[in-house]
């Protein structure tokens, strides 16, 4: 699988920083639900919806539960955008 380009990762970080209420500088592609305290099950849904909205994609509910890091989200968005 192709890794998402840096600008897409940056975009996801920007959205995640807003939704999770943290500074964008505190997030990297490796940041995940385990490493970020504000990333709980409620904010995960908010994050998925915000990413859909910001990237014009539609993430299937089954896939949502698996996208637990910035990198995974960016990769999934890249795939959805290229479909």
Partner 1 sequence: MSTVDELRTQIQQAAAHGHAGLCRGLAARLWHSTPTLAAAGFLAKTLPGSSAASTWPSRRVFMLRSFTVEPIIPALVAEGLAAGVVFDVTVGDFNAYSQELLDPSSRLYEADPDVAILALQTRDIAPELWAGTATSQSAYAAAVERVTAELSTLVEAFRSRSARPLVLHGLDLPVQTADGIGDHQRAAGQINAVREINRRLVELAGGTSDVYVLDYDRLVSRHGSDRWYDERLWASARLPLSTGLMPALAGEWARFLFATGPALAKVLVCDLDNTLWGGVIGEDGIEGIVLGENEQTCPYLRTQRAILDLYDRGIILAICSKNNPDDALQALERHERMLLRPHHFAATRINWIDKPVNLAEIATEISVGLDALVFLDDNPVEREHVMQHAPEVRVLDLPDDVQQFADCVRRFPLFERLRLTAEDRERGAMYAQQRCRDELQRSTASVEDYYRSLGMRMQVDPVGSDTMARASQLTQKTNQFNMTTRRYTEAEIAAFAAADGHHAWTVQVADRFGDNGIVGLLIVEAGPKEWRIDTFLMSCRVIGRTVESAMLAWLVERARAAGVTRLVGEFVPTKKNAPAAETFAGHGFVPAGQAGTASRWVFELDHGTIRAPEWIAILEPEVQPT
**Residues near partner 1, by CB under 8 A:** 14-15, 18-22, 42, 45-46, 49-50, 52-54, 58, 61, 64
CB 69 within 8 A of CB 30: yes
Between the alpha carbon of residue 50 and those of residues 1, 53, 59, the distances in Å are 24, 5, 11
C-beta of 3 vs 24, nearer to partner 1: 24
Residue 15 Cβ vs partner 1, minimum distance, rounded to whole Å: 5
Nearer to partner 1 (CB atom), residue 32 or residue 46:
46
Backbone angles phi, psi at 8, to 5 degrees: -70, -40
């Amino acid at each position: 699988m192709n890794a998402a380009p840096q600008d897409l990762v940056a975009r996801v970080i920007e959205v995640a920083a807003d939704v999770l209420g943290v500074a964008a500088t505190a997030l990297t592609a490796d940041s995940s639900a385990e490493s970020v305290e504000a990333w709980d099950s409620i904010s995960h849904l908010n994050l998925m919806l915000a990413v859909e909205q910001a990237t014009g994609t539609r993430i299937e509910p089954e896939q949502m539960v698996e996208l637990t890091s910035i990198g995974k989200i960016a990769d999934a968005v890249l795939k959805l955008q290229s479909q």
